[in-house]
Amino acid sequence: MMELHGLGKTFGGKAAIADLSLRVEDDEYLTLLGPSGSGKSTMLRLIAGLELPDTGRIELNGEDITTRPTHLRGLGFVQQNYALFPHMTVGDNVAFGLRNRIVDPVTDETAVARRVGEMLELVGLQGLDSRMVGQISGGQKQRVSLARTLITEPKVCLLDEPLGALDANLRERMTVELRKIRAALGVTFFHVTGNESEALAMGDRMIVLDEGRAIQIDTPDAVFHTPASVRAAKFVNAYNILDGKVEASAFVHGDQRLALPTGAGDAAHYALRIDAPEIEPAGTTTPAPGRASMMATFVASEFMGSRVVHFFKCSDGALFEVERHLSRSDPVEYRGGEQRLLSWDLDSVLLFDASGRRIAAAQTKGAA
């Protein structure tokens, strides 16, 4: 179990990480979602010991390791660019940690060979040990890098955007593989990514990082359905977020007045999952009772295979997305510039106050 207490780090006066506290459990898959510049890499480097924090403590199983040198921490760090040793074979790369670590190196070459063989088999690279690193593909390099770290049996394995450099097909396969490998070894994975679907799909728990602060730590399911703040809602990339204010029990956005659920307080952001709205038939101007609605102008559609995303423009020019799953209905064609009424269930509305925090009461059932 690893704990971070009030970790902080500034670079040139700008806080990269600010007051970050976190508990990483044993044997879990933890993902960290953050846009670029949110301090993801800094956080990993602090944990790995490649940077020293300005404030705060890092504890591993109750021991303070804040200032312990990297090579004595017993943590694994899989770098984004794989950082394989170019002058060594795959086998020597994987064996590097076993042979050369300062704590308890393995000198028996038969033991090294056996463990390298086992590890390469686990990551699906059996028989490639004598290849040079330059002779394998990007996906294989990724696995070598992972194997090289995992063979040292780290207590926590840090992965810095491990799937970032892979193509879409390979990324999907590695997603499954990574979870399988983690489960087989029972080691904690701390996976950092800027890709929301990766963070949602892979983590047992996920952390949403914004400007060096953890703005939500929860299960992916909870982060997705009830983002704690408007920034978190933005990062999961599945919400339409309208800015405005509450006036006479309606949410005013541009020249539109949107119905509010009860307990709206003084909401400043009105968020709606992109698959929640219905596109009403042409000519409809009022929604069914108990539903909120808005007039919008159709712009374009994007076909994504199993689903299609329609883009509308709100009266103030903001883009509004509506996602339709094609398994339920045939794609409908709309004309560009066409005015349509969009309507949605009030239960699906999330409200955030001016500071960005979610107004919890908005969850309660019942229409205004």
The answer to whether residue 103 forms part of the interface with other proteins (CB under 8 A) is yes
Question: Can you tell me which of 39, 46, 58, 77 binds other proteins, judged by CB under 8 A?
Answer: 77
Q: Which stretch binds other proteins (CB under 8 A): 80-88, 184-192, 204-212, 234-242?
A: 80-88
Residue 98 CA, distance from chain mean position: 32
CB of 152 to other proteins, least distance (A): 6
**What is the residue whose two structure tokens read 């308890």?**
104
In terms of CB distance, is 72 or 176 closer to other proteins?
Answer: 72
Identify the burial level of 19 via C-beta atoms within 10 angstroms of its C-beta, where 0-12 means exposed, 13-18 middle and 19 or more buried. Answer: middle
The answer to whether residue 48 forms part of the interface with other proteins (CB under 8 A) is yes
The answer to whether residue 29 forms part of the interface with other proteins (CB under 8 A) is no
The token pair that represents 225 in the structure block: 């359905």
Torsional sign, CA 7, 11, 12, 13: negative
The token pair that represents 168 in the structure block: 């879409």
**Three-state DSSP class for residue 251:** strand
Torsional sign, CA 216, 221, 222, 228: positive
Distance in angstroms (rounded) separating the CA atoms of residues 232 and 153: 34
CB of 333 to other proteins, least distance (A): 40
Residues 148/149/152/155 CA torsion (nearest 10 deg): -160
In terms of CB distance, is 2 or 199 closer to other proteins?
Answer: 2
CB of 83 to other proteins, least distance (A): 4
**Three-state DSSP class for residue 159:** strand
Name residue 246's amino acid: V
Distance in angstroms (rounded) separating the CA atoms of residues 295 and 297: 7
The answer to whether residue 81 forms part of the interface with other proteins (CB under 8 A) is yes
Question: Can you tell me which of 62, 86, 186, 281 binds other proteins, judged by CB under 8 A?
Answer: 86
Is 82 within 8 Å of 93 (Cβ atoms)? no
Question: Can you tell me which of 4, 43, 58, 75 binds other proteins, judged by CB under 8 A?
Answer: 75
Q: Residue 268: which residues within 8 A CB-CB, separation 6 or more?
A: 243, 244, 245, 352, 353, 354
The site that binds other proteins (CB under 8 A) totals a number of residues, namely 25
Do β-strands 267-273 and 278-279 pair in parallel, antiparallel, or remain unpaired?
unpaired
Return the residues of window 148-167 that contact other proteins according to CB under 8 A. Answer: 148-149, 152
Residue 25 CA, distance from chain mean position: 18
The answer to whether residue 50 forms part of the interface with other proteins (CB under 8 A) is yes
CB of 136 to other proteins, least distance (A): 16
Torsional sign, CA 171, 173, 174, 175: positive
Q: Which stretch binds other proteins (CB under 8 A): 68-76, 232-240, 313-321, 325-333?
A: 68-76
Q: Which stretch binds other proteins (CB under 8 A): 82-90, 116-124, 170-178, 339-347?
A: 82-90
Question: Can you tell me which of 31, 41, 42, 79 binds other proteins, judged by CB under 8 A?
Answer: 79
Q: Residue 68: which residues within 8 A CB-CB, separation 6 or more?
A: 49
CB of 1 to other proteins, least distance (A): 20
The answer to whether residue 136 forms part of the interface with other proteins (CB under 8 A) is no
In terms of CB distance, is 88 or 318 closer to other proteins?
Answer: 88
Question: Can you tell me which of 15, 83, 241, 250 binds other proteins, judged by CB under 8 A?
Answer: 83
Q: Which stretch binds other proteins (CB under 8 A): 84-92, 166-174, 243-251, 305-313?
A: 84-92
Is 349 within 8 Å of 271 (Cβ atoms)? yes
**What is the residue whose two structure tokens read 């040198």?**
69
CB of 99 to other proteins, least distance (A): 9
CB of 171 to other proteins, least distance (A): 21
In terms of CB distance, is 75 or 268 closer to other proteins?
Answer: 75
The answer to whether residue 52 forms part of the interface with other proteins (CB under 8 A) is no
Distance in angstroms (rounded) separating the CA atoms of residues 225 and 350: 9
The answer to whether residue 85 forms part of the interface with other proteins (CB under 8 A) is yes
Residues that bind other proteins (CB under 8 A): 48, 50, 69-72, 74-77, 79, 81, 83, 85-87, 96-97, 100-103, 148-149, 152
